[in-house]
């Protein structure tokens, strides 16, 4: 009988210790979420960081020329998220005339797995879209795999609508949705107003990129 009681006390002590450790880990997680720093593309030293993230998370292969095409021509539209010096997310975009409209285009968006679900992608995309709006874009587009639930939910929340389905758009044979956001978007306006002031394809190999955004399976 005594042994059983002792065991129970020991078990309770262990459980309480576990609980404390869990609380500590949760607090650390909260803290780290608030420590995310967002910066716009700042030069060649950012390129390997962007490439590393995109290469590991998106299914389409890009050459260094593709990355340079975007970041050299529209550095103000690419953003990186850092946590304690580590790059944990990035967005790469462009803008220009397209069939008589001035249009923004989101080419790549990635947040590494341990940092997902904390609003980092939303913040990155919102920053790019804000610069697009300020630059006179009338709309923003992108493509996402029809199976990419996370990206479709994220863009849906920001007010993007499905404009087209593109048959076997990606090299892996998956269809894409072309998503479109028309300005002014009331949903986005409220996201934008929550932000503080900003800090500031389908193509392969060496060709000039057109548009794309697909996830690794
Ligand atoms: C898609 C991706 C960029 C989302 O990054 P994230 O930082 O986790 O996104 P956020 O935290 O800003 O998510 C905002 C909202 O999008 C939706 N969302 C994001 N990921 C989701 C998922 N896996 N499933 C369902 N909804 C999701 C949710 O509504 C979420 O809001 P909530 O957390 O309040 O519910 C990230 O999962 C990723 O890098 N995936 C691999 C690359 C990729 O698919 N890129 C997009 C190509 S088009």
84, two tokens: 């304690």
What atom in ligand 1 is closest to the CA of residue 111?
39
Q: Determine the distance from the C-alpha atom of residue 50 to the mean position of all C-alpha atoms in its chain, rounded to a whole number.
A: 11
In this predicted structure, the answer to whether residue 190 has a pLDDT above a threshold of 90 is no
How high is the pLDDT of residue 71?
A: 98
In short, whether 137's Cβ falls inside 6 Å of ligand 1 is no
Best probe residue, ligand 1, of 129, 150, 155 (max atoms within 8 Å of C-beta) = 150
In this predicted structure, the answer to whether residue 81 has a pLDDT above a threshold of 70 is yes
In short, whether 213's Cβ falls inside 6 Å of ligand 1 is yes
Distance from the alpha carbon of residue 5 to the mean position of ligand 1, in angstroms:
48
Give the confidence band of 11 by pLDDT, cuts at 50, 70, 90. Answer: confident
State whether residue 163 is helix, strand or coil: strand
Distances (CA, A) of 82 to 78, 88, 93: 14, 6, 18
In short, whether 150's Cβ falls inside 6 Å of ligand 1 is yes
Give the confidence band of 215 by pLDDT, cuts at 50, 70, 90. Answer: low
Distance from the alpha carbon of residue 155 to the mean position of ligand 1, in angstroms:
9
Distance from the alpha carbon of residue 209 to the mean position of ligand 1, in angstroms:
24
Determine the average pLDDT of the residues in 79-88: 96
Beta-carbon contacts of 162 under 8 Å, excluding residues fewer than 6 positions away, are: 177, 178, 179
Give the confidence band of 16 by pLDDT, cuts at 50, 70, 90. Answer: confident
Q: Is the dihedral of CA 137, 215, 53, 28 positive or negative?
A: positive
Distance from the alpha carbon of residue 47 to the mean position of ligand 1, in angstroms:
23
2, two tokens: 């005594």
């Amino acid at each position: 009988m005594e042994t059983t009681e002792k065991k129970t006390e020991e078990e309770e002590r262990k459980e309480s210790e576990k609980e404390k450790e869990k609380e500590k880990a949760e607090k650390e997680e909260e803290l780290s979420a608030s420590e995310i720093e967002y910066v716009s593309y700042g030069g060649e030293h950012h390129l390997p960081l962007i490439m590393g993230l995109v290469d590991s998370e998106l299914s389409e292969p890009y050459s260094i020329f593709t990355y340079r095409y975007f970041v050299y021509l529209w550095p103000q539209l690419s953003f990186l998220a850092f946590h304690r010096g580590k790059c944990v997310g990035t967005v790469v975009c462009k803008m220009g005339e397209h069939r008589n409209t001035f249009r923004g285009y989101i080419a790549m968006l990635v947040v590494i797995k341990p940092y997902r679900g904390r609003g980092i992608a939303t913040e990155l995309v919102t920053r790019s879209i804000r610069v697009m709006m300020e630059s006179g874009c009338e709309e923003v587009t992108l493509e996402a795999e029809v199976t990419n639930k996370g990206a479709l939910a994220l863009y849906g929340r920001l007010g993007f609508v499905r404009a087209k389905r593109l048959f076997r758009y990606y090299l892996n044979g998956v269809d894409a949705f072309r998503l479109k956001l028309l300005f002014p978007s009331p949903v986005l306006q409220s996201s934008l107003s929550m932000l503080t002031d900003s800090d500031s394809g389908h193509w392969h190999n060496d060709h000039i990129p057109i548009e794309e955004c697909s996830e690794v399976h």
